[in-house]
Structure 1
Amino acid sequence: MTPPTIDVHAHVLLPEVEALVEGLPGHAEARALDARRNGPAALAVNGPMIRERFPRLTDVGARLAAMDGQGVDVQLVSPSPSHYHYWTGEETAEKVYRLANEATTAHCSAAPDRLRGLGLVPLQHPDLMVHALDHALEQGLLGVEISSHAPGRELSDPAYEPFWARAAETGAILFLHPFGCTLDERLDRWYLSNTVGQPTENAVALSHLIFSGVLDRHPGLKVIAAHGGGYLPTHIGRSDHAWSARSDAGAGCAHLPSSYLKRLYFDSLVHDPHVVRELVRVAGAGRVLLGSDFPFDMGTEDPVGALRAARLSEADFHAVRGGNATALLRKD
């Protein structure tokens, strides 16, 4: 029997979360920062794009119809990264993650055989993250989605150690999906905030996990990197060279950086069949998963066709199409 086709990179929009934070102190400043980072041209395109896709982002029937059209059997649904709201204080952050977890659960429960969900944790408040992860798992979600950093904190921050330990202990899936880029106004034209910013943030975040030894201390972590892990997998040779040539680069992790790619998972959303093949080469066919960024315009409306274009072996194609995700999403 062939495995179901599973898309691990699909989003849900949660208007109730946005209603919760609307008008709170800090909200206007966060929106202004996002506007500066993206630039006016991108914002002018984003509004109509979201409105056109709103039914697929919120209505289960519209989502399932679109999935049928794509030949996708199951989606792993995560909140839109716009819902992170890492600017919020502890009290509001707790309300955000609880509401996001519960709303995502409700969305997925309308089609439990086809939709599995991920929740949120407040990356800006490490002391709350274990509780937030436990809350997500108690709702029946498979894990949580996190960004590449929080204000003033990289993923290598020691304050996150209890969270990594709990995630490894529970087998929770951690979906690493950046939102925003600290290069700020340098990327505010031509949608560079996304086309350059997202893969940069992925590469930086994964490098922090690797070089700091997080993956050594917590080998059981199940991390899926969106957008194929950004620039890191195709440029990992430079990291390997630095680890071998420089004492400061090699001090934090026990093994060659490229070896850790085989401990991570990567979605296939790279918009280039040659890069899909390279992902399979450096990470292994068992570590690449189908992803579409459903239903945003920077995704693909034909994830299976995009994967087929990579001309993988038939065994590798079916592993990426759904076999790997079937094993990963299975609850022990």
Structure 2
Amino acid sequence: MSADCCTGKNLISVSKKGQHLVVDIHCHLNVKAADQIVQSKYPGPPPGIHEFSSDKSNEVNKAQFCTIGATLNNIDLRIADMDRLGVDVQVISPNPGQYFYYTDDETGLAASQAVNNGIAEAVASNPERFVGMGTVPMQNIAMAISEMRRCAQELDLRGIEISTNVNGKDLHHEELQPFFAAAEELGILLFIHPLGFTQAHRMKEYYFNNLIGNPLESTLAVGHLIFGGVLDRYPELKICVAHGGGYVPGYWGRMDHGWRARPDCSEHCKHLPSSYLRKLWFDTLVFDKEQLDSLVRSHGSDRLCLGSDYPFDMAEPNPVEFHDQLAENDKAKILGLNAADLLGLVPKV
């Protein structure tokens, strides 16, 4: 590894097999040791996990976890899948079910440390193919900042995955601002990933809490970051939003109109809301090639990263092929160069 003078981090050498470096920025790993810590004090399913889910969806989810459990809980089977899919590097982030924000502070910290240690161990087993992102106990911001520093400085994890809210507190909440200040100081990537919608009373059927709720949560998170002034206060924040950024990229004009027309919409937001979208990165998990083309046109190829949601059933099944219709320059950036720049990666020669 060599020093990166721009970020102060060490560059990570990674393998590249094809024409373009391919980095999947949206892959998950579950760490059983963390579940054991939480279950010893909070037995049973996490609060709210079945509240907005039908019996049929719960049945399908149970079968899914039986199928993907071996892959979700370890990395032994991943290399074969990565080679089959043409993925050079997986950026491993926690299973969103392991945020554990609902626990007491000490349990949340211990569980977060177990997750981060587990991800660091997974990366160390094959550092040319895996890069890590961690989690922090956002219910206690002082602990969250301390653990984020440990992730960056001791474990060499390159990002922190956070939810779209913290126990119902949106991301512009005053209590959360020291965390964003610390993330900006560290220069670490924040990967925003939802865990269903918090008030999905009308989304129980048809897995709507995921199909509609996840992008809606991301939309709200982005909206609060913009309208709440977070991106003005911390202009150097590095943020990537899962699932194509939610619904914002397809309907930002309504936010711009509200900002122009209403003083309550522009109170904390200095500029047109759409102008902030180019400060964010989105993954390309939108499933439809016309929607991908639209995202490239509206957002630009410089701020998009391939993301698959491996190994869940809501993953893009052919993440590299999904980008085939793009111009080669756009494709090179989105398949891997943008993620490499964000995370301090360099392909081996």
Normalising by structure 2, we get a TM-score of 0.90
Cross-structure match for 2:232: 216
Asked if 1:16 is matched to 2:33, the reply is: yes
Asked if 1:315 is matched to 2:329, the reply is: yes
Deviations along 1:199-232, whole A, 9 cap, x unmatched?
A: 0000000100011111111111111100001111
Q: Paired residue for 1:56, among 71, 79, 83?
A: 71
Asked if 1:326 is matched to 2:340, the reply is: yes
Aligned positions of 1:132-143 closer than 5 A? 132-137=147-152, 138-143=154-159
Cross-structure match for 1:107: 122
Work out the CA distance in 2 between the residues paired with 1:139 and 1:118. Answer: 10
Work out the CA distance in 1 between the residues paired with 2:272 and 2:281. Answer: 17
Q: Paired residue for 1:175, among 180, 187, 191?
A: 191
Q: Secondary structure at the match of 1:271?
A: coil
- CA 1:23 to 1:61, structure 2 compared with 1: closer, same or farther past 3 Å? closer
Question: Which moved further from structure 2: 124-133 or 113-122?
Answer: 124-133
Work out the CA distance in 2 between the residues paired with 1:220 and 1:325. Answer: 17
Work out the CA distance in 2 between the residues paired with 1:53 and 1:215. Answer: 37
Cross-structure match for 2:7: none
Asked if 1:193 is matched to 2:209, the reply is: yes
Work out the CA distance in 2 between the residues paired with 1:315 and 1:152. Answer: 41
Q: Secondary structure at the match of 2:206?
A: coil
Question: Which moved further from structure 2: 104-113 or 178-187?
Answer: 178-187
Aligned positions of 1:27-46 closer than 5 A? 27-28=43-44, 31-46=46-61
Question: Which moved further from structure 2: 72-81 or 2-11?
Answer: 2-11
Deviations along 1:7-61, whole A, 9 cap, x unmatched?
A: 0000001111111111424x54x63521111221111111121121122223323
Deviations along 1:279-299, whole A, 9 cap, x unmatched?
A: 222221100000000010001
Q: What's the Cα RMSD here?
A: 1.6
Work out the CA distance in 2 between the residues paired with 1:215 and 1:304. Answer: 31
Contact 2:196 2:214 in 1 (8 A): yes
- CA 1:277 to 1:81, structure 2 compared with 1: closer, same or farther past 3 Å? same
Deviations along 1:134-186, whole A, 9 cap, x unmatched?
A: 12112110121000001141100111221111111111011100013122331
Question: Which moved further from structure 2: 269-278 or 69-78?
Answer: 269-278
Work out the CA distance in 1 between the residues paired with 2:146 and 2:127. Answer: 24
Aligned positions of 1:48-87 closer than 5 A? 48-87=63-102
Structure number with higher helix proportion: 1
Work out the CA distance in 2 between the residues paired with 1:31 and 1:164. Answer: 26
- CA 1:330 to 1:3, structure 2 compared with 1: closer, same or farther past 3 Å? farther
Aligned positions of 1:262-281 closer than 5 A? 262-281=278-297
Cross-structure match for 1:245: 261
Asked if 1:206 is matched to 2:244, the reply is: no
Give 2:26's aligned amino acid.
H
Gaps of 5+ in 2: 1-17
Work out the CA distance in 1 between the residues paired with 2:256 and 2:158. Answer: 33
Give 1:117's aligned amino acid.
G
Deviations along 1:250-294, whole A, 9 cap, x unmatched?
A: 111111111111100000001111221222222211000000000
Cross-structure match for 2:24: 7
Asked if 1:162 is matched to 2:175, the reply is: no
Q: Paired residue for 1:125, among 123, 131, 140?
A: 140
% identical equivalent positions: 38
Gaps of 5+ in 1: none
Contact 2:255 2:273 in 1 (8 A): yes
